[in-house]
Amino acid sequence: GSAMAAVRDVEIDPEGTFKYILVRLQRPGGQEQRDIVRGTKAAEFHNHIFEKVNPEMEKLGYECKCLGGGKIDHNSKDKKIKVFGLSTGYGKADHSVTVEILKKVYTDYEITWSDDKK
Give the count of domains, the chain. 1
Q: CB–CB of 101/82 below 8 Å?
A: no
Q: Which of 46, 48, 74, 95 is catalytic?
A: 46
Specify the DSSP element, H or E, that contains 49. helix 46-59
C-alpha closest to that of 12 among 35, 41, 48: 41
CATH label of the domain that carries residue 104: 3.50.20.20
Residues at the binding site for substrate are 19
| Alpha carbons 32 and 45: distance in angstroms, whole number | 29
Q: In this structure, is residue 47 part of a structural domain?
A: yes
Identity (one letter) of the amino acid at 116?
A: D
Q: Which domain holds residue 102?
A: 10-114
Q: In this structure, is residue 1 part of a structural domain?
A: no
Residues at the binding site are 19
Q: In this structure, is residue 79 part of a structural domain?
A: yes
Q: In this structure, is residue 95 part of a structural domain?
A: yes
Q: Is the pTM of this model over 0.85?
A: yes
- Is 46 marked active-site? yes
Q: In this structure, is residue 2 part of a structural domain?
A: no
Degrees, nearest 5: CA angle 21-43-19? 40
Largest CA-CA distance found in the chain, in angstroms, rounded? 43
For each of the chain's 118 residues, which pLDDT tens digit applies? 556 677 999 999 999 999 999 999 999 888 889 999 999 999 999 999 999 999 999 999 999 999 999 999 999 999 999 999 999 999 999 999 999 999 999 999 999 999 888 7
